[in-house]
Amino acid sequence: MIAVYSRSKLLLIFFIFGVLFNHICQAQGYPKKPIVIIEPVLAGGAPDVRMRQAAPKMAEFLGQPVIVENRPGANGAIGAREVGKAQADGYVLLHANISNLLNDVFGGEKGTRVSEDFIPIGDIEYGALIMVVNPNVNAKTLKELMELAKAKPNVLTYGSGGAGGLIQLLGERVKLAANIQVLEVPYKSPGAEVPDLLAGHLDIGFGVWANMGTLIKTGKLRAIAVASQNRLLTLPEVPTMLEGGLNNMETTAWNGLFAPMGTPPEVISQLNKAIAYAVASKDVKELFSTSGSSAGNKSPEQFAEFVRSERDKWSQVVKAAGIRIQP
């Protein structure tokens, strides 16, 4: 019995050593070939543009090409599924965004959940949502808009990008916090509501500076408040929602890189350094800044904690607002 027990222990030790040795071998000299980043949104979408701006700088740091390939569909789940099945060696990565995380909140498919099935590498970009109104709405501040909504319950409308999207969640969060009744008008995708907002068929909308900036600057839409901790550099005259009287409204359309579970820590660390190098470069930083967004700077551990906090925050909003997605 003693001999059998000792042999079992030796086998276990050899197994553990073999796994560690394999990881060390994988990490040494990484990367040795091009890296593919799966982009789960359509080409030309905001996250896709940001990744393609950062990719050349990552390639410069890593000494290997960084190729971005689009795999849109199912609110990001198709791309996530492909990366989840890839070898955990750092050569196929996922550029996930807030939509992927919201899939988790609504019980996403196993193998596609960024908060559970992947290793967070690092954050790339954050874009705060801006609350806007059609210029015909008789409100120039968030306080005035809330008062108007209370005086006319279920009269004002806001456009969302559909059930379970970030805009709907922020809209419902505002309604709960302000204790107002505003009707949601869902559209098939974020941005599809803008023509009706411009035409006056909708009263309220939400979007990032990259999509709303020109419309705000030309006076076609009026910015009421920004859902961020601080005012935007591109919109310094517009107060935050906290300044307008609503607390804990911070809402950002963020994105970052994730790796398949089991990817060696040394590879994760090297990729995180590549992201930091890319977003800190002058040209990328300027591109982000002119788009009204801010660059990421989190370690893998900090980014993992942020992802968990986002999942918990929006899970609470979904529960409080009774939001459900029809299968």
Domains of the chain by start residue, with CATH: 33-126+253-321 (3.40.190.150), 130-226 (3.40.190.10)
Q: Is 242 a residue whose pLDDT tops 60?
A: yes
Q: Is 228 a residue whose pLDDT tops 80?
A: yes
Please tell me whether the peptide bond between 31 and the residue prior to it is cis, using omega within 30 degrees of 0: yes
Distance CA 39, CA 31 (A): 20
- Which position has the token pair 């999207």? 165
Cut 0.75: pTM above it:
yes
- Which position has the token pair 């019980």? 107
Residue 326: pLDDT band (50, 70, 90) is: low
pLDDT digits (tens, 9 = 90+) for 306-318: 999 999 999 999 9
State what percent of residues in the chain have pLDDT above 90: 80
Closest CA to 191 of 292, 42, 323, 50: 42
Q: What is the average pLDDT score of the chain? A: 91
Structure tokens at 286: 């300027």
Specify the length of the chain in residues.
327
Residue 6: pLDDT band (50, 70, 90) is: low
Q: Does residue 248 come out as left (phi exceeding 0), alpha (psi in the -120 to 50 range) or beta? A: left
pLDDT of residue 18: 47
Distance CA 154, CA 156 (A): 6
Segments in 128-180 forming alpha helices (H)? 142-151, 166-178
Helix (H, G, I), strand (E, B) or coil at 227: coil
Distance CA 142, CA 146 (A): 6
pLDDT of residue 143: 97
pLDDT of residue 4: 47
Q: Is 278 a residue whose pLDDT tops 90?
A: yes
pLDDT of residue 291: 86
- Lowest-confidence segment of 55-64, 182-191, 262-271 by average pLDDT: 182-191
pLDDT of residue 20: 43
pLDDT digits (tens, 9 = 90+) for 17-56: 444 444 444 456 999 999 999 999 989 888 999 999 999 9
Residue 292: pLDDT band (50, 70, 90) is: confident
Structure tokens at 11: 């086998």
Q: Is 71 a residue whose pLDDT tops 90?
A: yes
pLDDT of residue 289: 86
